[in-house]
Every structure is written in C-alpha cells, then in structure tokens.
Amino acid sequence: MLSAYGTDKGCLTEFPALTDAVPDGVVWIDMVEPTFDEEKVVEAALGIDIPTREELAEIEASSRLYQEDGAAFMTANLIRRGENDRPESSPVTFIIKNNQLVTIRYHHPQAFPVYVHRAMKPQSTAMTGWGIFVSLLEAVVDRAADHLERVGLIVDDTSRVTFSPRMQSGKRMRKKPVDLSELLEKIGEEGDFNSKMRESLVSIGRMVAFMQAIVDQTRQTKDMKDNRARIKVLQRDIQSLTDHASFLNGKISFLLDAVLGMGTIEQSGIIKIFSVAAVVFLPPTLVASIYGMNFKFMPELDWVYGYPMALGIMVLSAFLPWLYFKQKGWL
C-alpha cells in the first residue's frame, strides 16, 4: 500500500491513492508492504532502486547506511508491541532524495499514525522531506520513551508483588503465596522487550549520526539549520533512553535473580519441613521398633501400664525434638 503526502499551509495533506504515477508536490511516500508494481512506480518517479523485503532482511547491520544515485538510504529496527504484548521488531528503511522522503516498512509501528494525525494540524517546523523525516524520528523516539516507561512500571509492580509483605492495622501478616512461574514469565517478557528496545535505539542512534553527517555536508539554509539543531537534540534523547534501557536491564536482572532465589528458598523450606518431620518421628519409631521385637523376656509385656507407658514415651520423644527446634528458631 502506498500513501503519498504533501503540505498545505504548514499542514500535512494526504493525496488520493496512488495508481500509476506519483503526483507533483509529494514530499513523503509511505510504502507499507509494497507490491512489485508499487515499487516500480516509486522507482520511476525518483530514479532510485527500492530495496525489496528480502534485500532488507539480507542487509548487514553495518551496511544499512549508504548513499546511492544521489539518495541516502537509512535502515533502522523499529519495535512495537504486537499480539499478546509480544515485542515485534522489523527493519524500516528511510530514503531521502531531493528533499523527498520515502519510508518502506513491513509492520505497523504506532509512531507513524501518531505523527500523521499530529501533522495534519499546523506545524511550527519545516514541512519538507528533511523536516518530516526528523519529525517522524522524534515521534519514534517519543514512542520508545513511552515503551520504556511502561516497562519500568511493570518491573516496579512485579518488584512490589515479589518483596512487599501484606500489612493490616500496622501489623505484619503472612504474605499471600506468589506464583513464581507467573512472575518469571512476566519478567522474561519485559526483559526481552527491553533488550529489543535497546537494540532499536542503538540502530536509530547510528542512523541519526549518519543523518547528522549528511546535513553537515548540505548547504546550510534556515530550514537545514533548524533540522541540524533538532538532530542534536534527538541524539541526546536517544542517548538518554539508551542509558535508561540499560538501567532497566539491570533492574530486570536483579529481579530475575531475586525471584529465582525465592524459588530456591521455598524449596529449602519444604525440604526443611520434611527433615524436621523425619527427625521428630524418628525417636517414636525407635521406641515402637523396640517394643515390636519378639523377645521372650520383656518385663513391660506383663506390666499393666506397659502400653500407656510406651505411648507416652513415643509422644514425649517426638515432643522434645520439636521443642528443641522451636527454641533454636529452626521452625
């Protein structure tokens, strides 16, 4: 699908659906899962070779930024939350030639429709190909900040569930049992998302640095000077978000280790209960075993109080170890 946009009175305007030619006045062509015929239309209009989906997948990370036929080709991995909140990462290519922008994508990052909706209103920035490019990346970075904020909230909520005791009337009560497997699954999902987001920010940072080099070599008009200043702010924002993603990664690693440690503690507690039970019932078993022997001369067999005495000894021999463990604080 091709979407073509122009500008009118500082606003972004959308052209009717493209058929066999690109109309005059187009500053941005958004190609979403384009067909072969749609690629040919754009190639004929701009005189460039549009990379296919297979070519995008084969491009090495070190070869995603290059200039060819008077156009700059820049590819970065953009991320979105897909079905079931799973992270979806896919390369998006930005091509700019003669101050016209072309974007090629095979998934639907939320930053694109958000920017289009906002740009339909009057903008204070230049609505040229470069201006739209920078604004679109600003929307992508803003969306990344929202994603990282959500990751932070989920991590904080998981940490509170993991560590916070239940309180009532100022007194500490027994904590509600926590499903550790569910916590591990949630931590793993957010760790995976945060990792992919950090990779995305790194690729965007490389692309912005490449943009900066191109802008520095371009004739410095007023619009390009404004774009240059915005690119510098964008670089600082990306660096801040990358640092924040690294911080969240540290929190997630700590939380993961803590949950795994809690699982080990729970297993140790269960094993301790069985160990104490074995020790507590060992003396009564010994007494019962002694009086279960088939010797002829056992004085207690003919004693009226022999049976109650044996039961009392077994109860006492079980109670004394339990009392000892209790005093030691092992229970």
Task: Give the C-alpha separation, 300 to 297, whole Å.
Answer: 9
Question: What mean pLDDT value characterizes the chain?
Answer: 79
* H/E element, 88: strand 87-97
Cα angle for residues 254, 256, 258 (degrees, 5° grid)? 70
Q: Which residue has the tokens 């070779």?
A: 49
Ordered by where they begin, the domains of the chain are 2-164+178-265 (3.30.460.20), 270-328 (1.20.58.340)
Top pLDDT among 96 and 82 is at 96
pLDDT in tens, 287-317: 787 777 777 777 777 777 777 888 888 888 8
Cα angle for residues 249, 253, 254 (degrees, 5° grid)? 120
Confidence of residue 167 (pLDDT cuts 50, 70, 90): very low
pLDDT in tens, 54-81: 766 665 655 778 788 788 888 888 887 7
Q: How many CA atoms lie within 13 A of 272 on its CB side?
A: 11
**What is the pLDDT, as a whole number, of residue 93?**
87
pLDDT in tens, 94-114: 888 888 888 888 888 888 888
Residues 6+ apart with CB under 8 A from 46: 22, 71, 95, 97, 98, 100, 102
Distance from the Cα of residue 4 to its chain's centroid: 33
Confidence of residue 265 (pLDDT cuts 50, 70, 90): confident
Residue 50 pLDDT > 50:
yes
**What is the pLDDT, as a whole number, of residue 37?**
80
Task: Give the C-alpha separation, 36 to 34, whole Å.
Answer: 7
pLDDT in tens, 188-236: 888 888 888 888 888 888 888 888 888 877 766 767 778 788 888 888 9
| DSSP-assigned letter for residue 173 | -
Confidence of residue 34 (pLDDT cuts 50, 70, 90): confident
